[in-house]
Amino acid sequence: MNYRHRSSIQVGDVAQLFDGKRLRLARQLAGLRKNALAEKVDKTPTAIAAYEKSTKRPAPATVAQLSLALGVDPSFFLPGPVALEFSDAVAHFRSLRSTTQLARDQALAYGLATVDVSATLERHVEFPEEDIPHCEIRADVESPEGAAGALRGRWNVAPGPVGHLVRMAEHQGVLVVFSPPQGASVDAYSFEGLSRPVVVLNPTKDNFYRQRFDLAHELGHLVMHADAEPGSPRIEAQADSFAAEFLMPEEQIKNILPSKADWAQLQRIKESWGVSLQALLYRSRALGIMSDVTYRNAMIFLSSKGWKRQEPGVMPILEQPSLLPGAVSLLAEAGVSQQTLADEARVPLSLFRQICSRAPMDESLVLDESQGSPLPEGVVSLFSGSH
């Protein structure tokens, strides 16, 4: 099969078909407020707002200016693979106080671009069906532990430690991606994603154990908090409780957790269960196995040894997403280039590559297609083996 890049669409045609929500998406991806964009294209903030609301169409010359100012092809402003409804994508950010609105908008826009990329790839490669239970468990939001146990049961998670959690989530239709380097100020976050649930992991947390807990925390939000106001301490505490029970079920771990700070034993449990020493200490106290005094003393010792920053032992490599990068590799074998897929998704190639990367990328890895692809090749199937 011979695939070719689409011919460039005329700017005048883009002006006729202009989707204001796509302008808002591009602006937020660029981290700009309306007034900043207006200044770049010599328009008023009111005009930018009118374009975004689709109450006014920009002239072809203005489309070209917007394209240059935002670093996107004019075709970006055409209706995308998924109808954008910003109000339907409410992201769960860890701390609303420490994260600016501009940073949250940029992060959410990246997640929405991920949905566009996913929808494009799904036209060519079959993805797993989504299986995030909502009504069945959401009514149980006052019992995060019950929700976590129900999800383990629904996903047929074997008793004991959870295996590759990123792959497990992807098997259930969740999009898991790393945010770009410029989004490192925003912690892991999640949202329903319009067509698929999305979890975006922080690219600077080079910590296997923290990444797994972050992902389990975000799964808790997806299961329990679709209709909840994000960012409240209660909601975040519930997601933490969900993550602790999902990764360390009480009935399965309470008999092996020490009541004292037996560091050798804790290290063995850490390696086996894929959770940090701090998480094990907190879990032991939460389950009433370790006293408050013992817990405090253990945390003081842990801090004095510098283990809060870097725990002892070999750090496993991060769990890597396979769903999107695997689809890209399969299509590459069929002769479909990343540029072609990026064009179809209406996103810049550099953004496409970041979204489809298996590992956190820095700017130096965002290569021109002529220089090669940072995506690993040779993937023969999207998934193999069991959880």
pLDDT tens column, 285-311: 999 999 999 999 999 999 999 999 899
Query: Could you list the residue range(s) of the whole structural domain that residue 354 is in?
Result: 82-249+317-387
Task: Write out the two tokens for 246.
Answer: 């999902």
Neighbours of 368 (CB within 10 A): 9
- What tens digit of pLDDT does each residue of 120-167 get? 999 999 999 999 987 444 444 468 999 999 999 999 999 999 999 999
Q: Are both 58 and 148 inside the same structural domain?
A: no
**Residue 135 belongs to a domain:** yes
Domain end: 79, 99, 124, which one?
79
**103 plus 215 within the same structural domain:** yes
Is 26 part of a structural domain of the chain? yes
- pLDDT for residue 95: 65
Angle at 224 between CA 106 and CA 105, to 5 degrees: 10
With the CA atoms of 75, 77, 83 and 87 taken in that order, what torsion angle do they form, in degrees rounded to the nearest 10? 150
The tokens of 212 are what? 């797994």
Identify the sign of the CA torsion 45, 46, 51, 56: negative
Q: Are 92 and 38 in contact (CB under 8 A)?
A: no
Work out the percent of the chain whose per-residue pLDDT is above 70: 87
| 186 and 237 both lie in a single domain | yes
Residue 45 CA to residue 62 CA, distance in Å, equals 14
Q: Two tokens at 339?
A: 């540029």
User: What mean pLDDT value characterizes the chain?
Assistant: 87
Rounded CA separation 358/27 (Å): 26
* Pair 168, 42 in one domain: no
- One DSSP character per residue, 236-257 reads HHHHHHHHHHHHS-HHHHTTTS
Q: Are residues 225 and 372 in the same domain?
A: yes
Q: Are residues 371 and 231 in the same domain?
A: yes
Q: What is the reported pLDDT for 386?
A: 36
What pLDDT does residue 205 have? 79
Asked if the structure places residue 62 within a domain, the reply is yes
d(CA 124, CA 331): 8
Check whether residue 191 and residue 58 sit in a common domain: no
The answer to whether 234 and 259 have CB atoms below 8 angstroms apart is no
Flag whether 263 is in a domain.
Answer: no
Find the farthest-apart pair of alpha carbons in the chain and give their distance in angstroms, rounded: 72
* Cα–Cα distance measured from residue 119 to residue 350, given in angstroms and rounded to the nearest whole number: 18
- Number of structural domains (the chain) is 2
- Specify whether the backbone of 193 is left (phi greater than 0), alpha (psi in -120 to 50) or beta: left
151 and 124, same domain (yes or no) = yes
Terminal C-alpha separation, the chain:
34
Residues 194 and 111 in one domain: yes
Is residue 234 located within the same domain as residue 105? yes
DSSP one-letter code for 201: E
Of 43, 60, 79, the residue at which a domain comes to its end is 79
CATH number at residue 8: 1.10.260.40
pLDDT at 183: 65
Residues 25 and 160 both lie in one domain:
no
* pLDDT digits 0-9 by tens, 199-231: 999 888 789 999 999 999 999 999 998 777 777
Please state, in angstroms and rounded to a whole number, the distance separating the CA atoms of residues 242 and 213.
Answer: 10
Domain assignment of residue 91, yes or no: yes
Distance CA 219, CA 154 (A): 13
Domain boundary among 13, 48, 79: 79
Higher-pLDDT residue of 375, 16: 16
88 and 70: one domain? Answer: no
Query: Contact at 8 Å (CB) between 341 and 120?
Result: yes
pLDDT surpassing 70 at residue 374: no
The verdict on pTM exceeding 0.85 is: yes
